[in-house]
Structure 1
Amino acid sequence: MFAFTSSNKETVNPAAPALVQQWYDFTGDNPADPEDYTLRSPQTEPSCDGEGDMCAVKATAHGSFANKPNLADPSKIIRLED
């Protein structure tokens, strides 16, 4: 006669890596183009905080463009010039 017991094994799913937002300075003509941004170094908050032209954006990294922002990031922060 065989005895069967259930095994209580835990399945461990590694957590998805946290997506970190970084500051990118707007350095081009088209605010909708990730190529028109430069990764800010050092990662300090820009001083612009007005209601004029685009200055900088804080967003996660773009998956296809190195050192460029993901402008579709729903929690991005936009900074405008004074």
Structure 2
Amino acid sequence: MFGMIIDEKERLEIEYLLKREMDEILFDFQDERIECIVKNAMEERYKILFALFKRIAPANECMRYIPSYLKSKD
């Protein structure tokens, strides 16, 4: 377990970077030219990024990025 002290400006920057990466993965995931094995790796990366995002982003921001496999359980 690691701890980190960051100020609000740094938190916002990390939030922005994570959003950008997750948006890119979501966009690429819709590309039919990408093979299934690559999409599996992308999904694993998305899970890690989303876990980090949940720790720093407000709940209303997290709702937009909830992975589809979690949305379908409702």
Question: Which structure has more RCO (C-alpha within 8 Å, separation ≥ 6)?
Answer: 2
Which structure: greater strand fraction? 1
Larger radius of gyration: 1
What TM-score results when the alignment is normalised by the length of structure 1? 0.21
Which structure: greater helix fraction? 2
What TM-score results when the alignment is normalised by the length of structure 2? 0.22
